[in-house]
Amino acid sequence: MFELNGTPTTVPAHLRDATLLDFIREIAGLTGTKYGCGQGLCGACTVHIDGDAARACQTRISDVDGRKVTTIEGLAATTADAGLHPVQQAWITASVPQCGYCQPGQIMAAAALLKANPDPSDDDIRDGMAGNICRCGTYPRIRQAIKIAAGKG
């Protein structure tokens, strides 16, 4: 059993070796977390496990037993006012998405970065977002949105 976006979730025994990504998308029906490379290299499947960014395609269900998993669908609920998460609002303000495919993973990585470092430098942002690939190249807008969410933009 684990917590998925605040809801206790029981996993049938035959699915314990499935990836967290497959469970989230196929069993839980939450399609915001995207399948990208399947090797943990692109970041499209980024979720939070106990508040830290993790690649769902590389995580087995058995690895999250007793833990808290948050997907892009549950991120807003982690804020005090239950509105949009500050990173989600900053993404809108900075008009970050182009095709949008990588954006859930980018947002989840950015939220974890700001939780760990609420006042990141440009180098901190670059390092914290490394491994989250955007085929459209919206990196300048991603960096701008992170600064906005940090109160620096």
Domains and CATH numbers, the chain: 2-75 (3.10.20.30), 76-149 (1.10.150.120)
Q: Which pLDDT score is estimated for 82?
A: 66
Q: In this model, does residue 81 exceed pLDDT 80?
A: no
Strand order from edge to edge, sheet including 2-4: 7-9, 2-4, 68-70, 46-49, 52-55
Which residues lie closer than 8 Å to 16 by C-beta, 6 or more apart? 60, 61, 62
What pLDDT is stored for residue 22 in this prediction? 97
Please work out, in degrees rounded to the nearest 5, the angle formed at the alpha carbon of residue 99 by the alpha carbons of 95 and 101: 105
Mean pLDDT along residues 98-115: 96
* Count of alpha carbons within 13 angstroms of residue 32, beta-carbon side: 16
| Torsion angles phi and psi, residue 64, rounded to 5 | -105, 10
